[in-house]
């Protein structure tokens, strides 16, 4: 085949109390990578006009993932050109670096004759994510597998795919703010009180139970992050107001998406999701911050090939 296009959805990581643990994929927007074999052994990035995305393959999550996949396949001498189509915002907290890495890994794997299944593509994607955004697997695993994932352990890498309600809606709101992942990480405490750790663990367990049982009352009570959100909310003007507006509008929980600045909310249906999105956008605007909302379901498929040119 001449070229392969792979798509990976956007993701919400650090889901509620699930800091570094829980992630989910959202239908709709994502990143795509069109990969073709190069004439030499180089990996080259052709980006779609984002000047801030590094064009050096070794600094770009798509390039790193592609390099790791070809190494793993024992084909380190095969070169690729990767055209990265960014559907997701940069530094948005919607899993953009992870989606680019995952789409590149899936596309390059296909070009190499599909030596690997998705499970085997996870480690190279995690390496790419680690290089550009810190060592956490909740975005890459959700983008790759789809659905809701729980990262039980990074060492050894152990990702659990969780049951989830098909009708649950996700509201993603992107305020016109910048918050670099490094800055957001720098705000995290190094230690937490035992009581906080216990509450956070209980929240993760409750959220898993709520998704499995489709218990939306419990879901709303479980989206309660005692660690990352309190540390980061002060960096995100308008978030507190948007969260309050979301809950008043009937959201089944609201928190920061990834390390921000995007925020997310759960909703019981599409109408409610739209209302919640409008209320959140209005709350940001009332603070003088432009914002936009989108709604989607949980993307149960994850990354997929969506075009092959022979």
Give yes or no for a contact between 263 and 239, defined as CB atoms under 8 angstroms apart: yes
Active-site residue (options: 110, 127, 129, 229):
129
Q: Please state the separation of Cα 230 from the chain's center in Å.
A: 20
**Which span (105-113, 155-163, 168-176, 269-277) binds its own copies, by CB under 8 A?**
155-163
Smallest separation (angstroms) from its own copies to the CB of 194: 6
Smallest separation (angstroms) from its own copies to the CB of 20: 5
- Scored b (16 or more CB within 10 A) or e, 252-271 reads bbbbbbbbbbbbbbbbbeee
Interactions with its own copies, residue window 180-209 (CB under 8 A): 188-194, 196-209
Q: Toward its own copies, which CB reaches closer, 217 or 310?
A: 217
Q: Determine the size of the site formed for its own copies (CB under 8 A).
A: 41
Active-site residue (options: 120, 181, 241, 278):
181
Smallest separation (angstroms) from its own copies to the CB of 203: 7
Q: Kind and range of the H or E element at 207?
A: helix 194-213
Give yes or no for a contact between 31 and 83, defined as CB atoms under 8 angstroms apart: no
Residue 129 bears catalytic tag: yes
Residue 130 bears catalytic tag: no
| Binding flag, residue 158, its own copies (CB under 8 A) | yes
Residues 6+ apart with CB under 8 A from 203: 16, 17, 18, 222, 223, 224, 225, 226
Nearest-angstrom CA–CA distance, 34 and 18: 32
Interactions with its own copies, residue window 15-54 (CB under 8 A): 17-22
Interacting residues toward its own copies by CB under 8 A: 17-22, 150-153, 158, 160, 162-163, 188-194, 196-209, 212-213, 218, 221-222, 227
């Amino acid at each position: 085949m001449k070229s392969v296009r792979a798509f990976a959805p956007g993701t919400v990581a650090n889901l509620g109390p699930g800091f570094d643990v829980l992630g989910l994929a959202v239908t709709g927007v994502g990143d795509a990578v069109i990969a073709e074999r190069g004439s030499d052994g180089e990996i080259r990035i052709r980006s779609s006009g984002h000047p801030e995305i590094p064009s050096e393959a070794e600094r770009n999550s798509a390039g790193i993932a592609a390099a790791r996949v070809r190494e793993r396949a024992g084909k380190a001498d095969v070169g690729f050109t990767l055209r990265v189509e960014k559907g997701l915002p940069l530094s948005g907290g919607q899993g953009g670096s992870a989606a680019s890495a995952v789409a590149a890994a899936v596309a390059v794997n296909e070009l190499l004759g599909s030596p690997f299944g998705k499970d085997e593509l996870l480690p190279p994607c995690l390496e790419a994510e680690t290089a550009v955004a810190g060592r956490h697997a909740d975005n890459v695993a959700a983008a790759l597998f789809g659905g809701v994932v729980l990262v039980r352990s990074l060492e050894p890498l152990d990702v659990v795919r969780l049951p989830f309600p098909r009708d649950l809606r996700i509201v993603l709101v992107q305020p016109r703010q910048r918050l670099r992942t490094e800055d957001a990480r720098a705000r995290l405490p190094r230690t937490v009180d035992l009581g906080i750790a216990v509450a956070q663990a209980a929240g993760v367990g409750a959220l898993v139970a709520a998704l499995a049982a489709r218990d939306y009352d419990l879901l709303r009570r479980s989206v309660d992050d005692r660690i990352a959100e309190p540390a980061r909310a002060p960096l995100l003007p308008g978030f507190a107001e948007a969260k309050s507006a979301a809950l008043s509008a009937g959201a089944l929980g609201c928190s920061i998406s990834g390390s921000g600045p995007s925020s997310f909310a759960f909703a019981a249906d599409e109408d409610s999701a739209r209302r919640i999105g409008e209320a959140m956008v209005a709350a940001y605007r009332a603070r003088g911050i432009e914002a936009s909302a989108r709604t989607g379901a949980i993307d149960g498929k994850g990354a997929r090939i969506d075009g092959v040119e022979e």
